[in-house]
Every structure is written in structure tokens, then in C-alpha cells.
Structure 1
Amino acid sequence: MPRLIVCLTGMPGAGKSTIAAGLQKKGFESFNMGDAVRAEARRRSMEPTGQNLGRLMLELREKNGPGAVADLIKDQIMQSKSDVVVIDGVRSNAEIDVLKKITQVKLLAIHASTDTRYSFLSVRGRSDDPADRRMFDERDGREIGVGISASIALADETISNNNFTIEQLVNTAYEIILKWLK
């Protein structure tokens, strides 16, 4: 079981998945909350569009409580052999509360401007990435609606990702985690 769970939070396109991938290369195990929803969509034979995944996320929370998405990955985390597990895409304090029942949790918020995030998402290529600015704004509204603003506000540390290279972004997160492990 891990010693520390590092929850990455931030609006879509802020750089959470980039950090998680970079931290995996440094030896940490990583789980993506969105992947858990996408897996549930596959199980239900749903097309993984942004609209479908958003609806499914809201349905899971309504049916199973606001920490429902964290519950989907809880067993995987507890089976991890890594000292540090990185959770990509925490969206609410209820999800953080689910994870705190496993072990120590630290919250790292990633911030990027709206234009920076939109430009990142425009080239990322996930099935649920917004096709235009209207869909981008709708997704932001949905994320705010499930409580992401509160998790960002309560972060233990925040990284501003407007002018970093990928290497700088990952190394900044890595240094913060090393400090937390001391």
C-alpha cells in the first residue's frame, strides 16, 4: 500500500495528465479518474464522447455519492506497491475524503489560463476533448458544478502552468512531492 497519495486537481487542460505521465517515468504509479469513467462507459457500451462521459460522471455521483469516481479506483490504489501513487483528475473534496481513508493524501493544484488550457486541449486528441470553445466552456461549467473549485482552493501546493516546458512542469511537481515525503 502506498505511503502517500498525491491528488492532481485543476481544470481540464491545465497539465495534470502531463505531470502524471512524467511522474510515472520517475517511478510513481498513476491512476486517472477520467480513465475510470471511460472504463465504466466501455463496460456499459457507451460511446466515449465528452457529453456521454460527463453525463456518466454525474450519474455515478448521483447514484453512489460525490466520491463515486474515487471509489472506482480505490482497490487499484490499495494494491499498489509504489510508495507514491499519483491520482490524475481529482474533482471534488468528496473524492479526496474517499482517498484519505486509504493513507495520507496531499493535493497539488495545477493552474493554467483559459487560453492556455484551450490550446492544450485542442491538440491533445482524447475522445472527450472539446471540439470548439462552446464545448470547452460547457465542460468547464460541468467541472465547476461537481466541486473542482473547492479542491483547487484547498490544495497543499499550486503550480502555475502558463510558461513551463513539460520538463519544468514535471520537475516542479516532483520536487514538491519529494518535499512532502520528508
Structure 2
Amino acid sequence: MLIIGITGMPGAGKSAIYEVAKKYDLPVVSMGDVVRYETKKRGLELNPENVGNTAIKLREEFGNEAIAVACLKYIEEHLKDKDVVIVEGIRSLYEVNYFRKHNPLVLIAIHSSPLTRFERLKIRGREDDSANWEVFVERDLRELGFSIGYAIALADFVVINESSFEDCVNQLDNILKEILNNLEKYKKYNFIYAIPE
């Protein structure tokens, strides 16, 4: 099985992958959903602080690849017959390495500027989003603390998402076509990065 990982900062447009995945009938597993599920399971309200703290606690309890462990367990239980699975919301090189220890993984980064992302999050208004710039910056710095910057910098493909949703979808569509047309090549993507301490 090949895993196609999607990484990017909050509001970069990672969820556009759902649109493209439908076209190719590919399942998508959301790492953010796993954290939100764990937050609710712990009896906490879904807001930026609680979701962020739950992500930190999960990593403290189960290691830096904690969310990837939960996702891979879900994939093995529910999607083991699939040839390709998309994992949306990879946030660290630890997670990249964990997936690659078990399956080949191709990583796609979706990148948008902070101001573009902040405006999008204000419109999106999910429980763990904030319309406050300081809270937005805190969240960005927390994400960077998980080593998401390494994952973005070392991605195999990059989508620059500064214009329309359609443009982002088109870029992702072209990348998925490339991967699906060359599956054997990408099934060799299991190299591990040494992570700086």
C-alpha cells in the first residue's frame, strides 16, 4: 500500500485533497480528526487551546509519532485492502518517518502565506480556528514546534495555494495523476530522515 501524505500549516488548504480524492475513489484519513476525537473523548470542548493541548499530551504520552500510530492502526483495521490511501494533516517528520517504516509514503505540502491562511480560518470558523491574530500565531508556533516545517521543506511535491480553490484542486489533481500513473516508482519512497535534536 502507498500512503499519500498531505502536510501544510493551518488554513493552507489541505482539505482540498478531499475533492480530488473523490475523483480517483481514494480514501482519506484525517489526522486532525484523530486529535479532535481524542479531545472530545477526554471530555474537553473543541477550541484551539484544548485541541492544541490534546495534541501535545498525546505526543507526551505516546511519543512524537503518536497521531501517526493511531492513523496507521485505523488504516490497518479499515483500509488494508486499498492500494493507495491519503493521510491528510501530517504535522511532523516523526510522523513521516513512522509511516515510512511501515509503508511507502509520498508527501505533498500545501503552502500559503500567513495572512492568506488567517483570512481563510476566520471564514472557515471551525471550533479549533481563531479569528484572533495572536491565537493564530500561537497555533502556528505550536505546529512549528511539532517539526511541521521539516515535513513541508522535505515534501516530494509542493502546491502553492494563494489563489482560488479550483487552482489548488487542479494542482493536486496533476500531482495525483503523476503518482497514480507511476505507482511502482513511488512505492519505493520509504527513506527515513534523521531528525535534528
Q: 1:137 is matched with which residue?
A: 137
* Count of paired positions: 178
Q: 1:170 is matched with which residue?
A: 169
Structure 1 residues not aligned, in runs of 5+: none
CA contact (8 A) 2:161 2:167 kept: no
SS at match of 1:16: coil
Describe how 1:31-180 pairs up with structure 2 within 5 A: 31-78=29-76, 79-80=78-79, 81-163=81-163, 165-180=164-179
CA drift of 1:124 comes to 0.8
Identity of aligned residues (%): 40
CA contact (8 A) 1:28 1:83 kept: no
CA drift of 1:101 comes to 3.0
CA contact (8 A) 2:8 2:111 kept: yes
SS at match of 1:99: helix
Supply the AA of the counterpart residue of 2:174: E
Q: For residues 30-64 of structure 1, give each alpha carbon's deviation from its aligned partner in whole angstroms, at most 9, with x where no partner exists.
A: 11111001111121111111101101101111111
Structure 2 residues not aligned, in runs of 5+: 183-197
CA drift of 1:113 comes to 0.9
SS at match of 1:87: strand
CA drift of 1:170 comes to 1.6
Q: 1:16 is matched with which residue?
A: 14
2 CA distance for matches of 1:127 and 1:83? 33
2 CA distance for matches of 1:130 and 1:113? 16
**TM-score normalised by the chain length of structure 1:** 0.92
1 CA distance for matches of 2:73 and 2:134? 36
